[in-house]
Amino acid sequence: MLRKMRNAKAPDFAFRFLPPYTPAMRVMTYNLFEGGAGRIDPIAEVVRWAAADVLLVQEALDEALLHHLADRLHMDRFIARNPRSDQGAVAILSRLPLLEAVNHTPLDGRITRAALHAVVATPAGGQLPIVALHLHARETLADEQVRLTELPAILDIAARFEDRPHLLAGDFNSNHPDQIIALQQLRPKARERIAPQNNLHPRTLVERLLQQGYIDAHARGRRPEDFGKSFTTAFPATRVDFIFLSPQLEPALRSCEVFTPPLATYASDHYPVVADLAV
């Protein structure tokens, strides 16, 4: 229904009052939780309801399930697995043509889980480079240090597109420096892990990306008290799932939301994040 509404022909009179329409491209990042075993059907419905054109998947651990999901959604797909870890796999699924896709995980030992880049043909006839990734997990400051060793590898991938609009998206397992986190809302295991570090939650990695000039699409134009929470669906307290825009891409941003329909609560332990781009 959302896709039909988005693509519906406007009344003729509307064109006398509205500026020229630029087609929107809807990008979603979604951690499936352990490959989505037993939950591919609700995951597919969440993606369908969001009307995603491009889906960036973390924990794409079961290739057969991932292909089943892509087939259900009528999307092309590219899976990037980590030969060094059975926990590392990301994927891109797309209704739009995939012009290029590279798995960087085997090429760079700094990446602990998985990372890929792809170039997607946009509705307006252009090309959009995307870096999709899943960084090291958990909430301790020591875990954040591991992620900081991954950051140069991610920036090296993105550097090949530095003169072009591009985005970085996925599960960063870190928080925005202004994210408001209520301790009582954290899942019990997370509270246990951060208690020895004065209840501090890792934020340095995201802060470094912002310092590099990337724009947190969801935070743009929002006060911290209005930031959404993507993790976990059972204990929504933090937002570790991000879509970061290069400065050249920021003018194309229409909206970016944490997508929280009721079905998503049961489909994964992460809520997806969805951005609309006029590209």
DSSP of 207-274: HHHHHTT-EETTTTT--GGG----B-SSS--B--EEEEE-TTTGGGEEEEEE---TTHHHH-SB--EE
Six-digit token string for 74: 């009528």
Overall number of domains in the chain: 1
In a domain, 77, yes or no: yes
Residue 11: inside a domain, yes or no? no
- pTM of the entire predicted model: 0.91
Q: What is the mean pLDDT of residues 212-224?
A: 98
CATH number, domain with residue 138: 3.60.10.10
* Structural domain contains residue 84: yes
Longest dimension (CA), the chain: 63
- What is the C-alpha to C-alpha distance for residues 216 and 220, in angstroms, rounded to an integer? 6
* 12 token code pair: 């003729």
Q: Residue 12 falls within a domain, yes or no?
A: no
pLDDT (average), residues 86-98: 95
101 part of a folded domain? yes
Mean pLDDT to the nearest integer, 166-170: 98
pLDDT tens digits along 102-139 = 999 999 999 999 999 999 999 999 999 999 999 999 99
In a domain, 102, yes or no: yes
In a domain, 4, yes or no: no
- Domain region containing 237: 23-278
Name the DSSP class of 13: G
- Structural domain contains residue 222: yes
* CA distances to 12, 22, 37, 125, 234 from 19, in Å: 13, 9, 45, 19, 42
pLDDT recorded at residue 87: 83
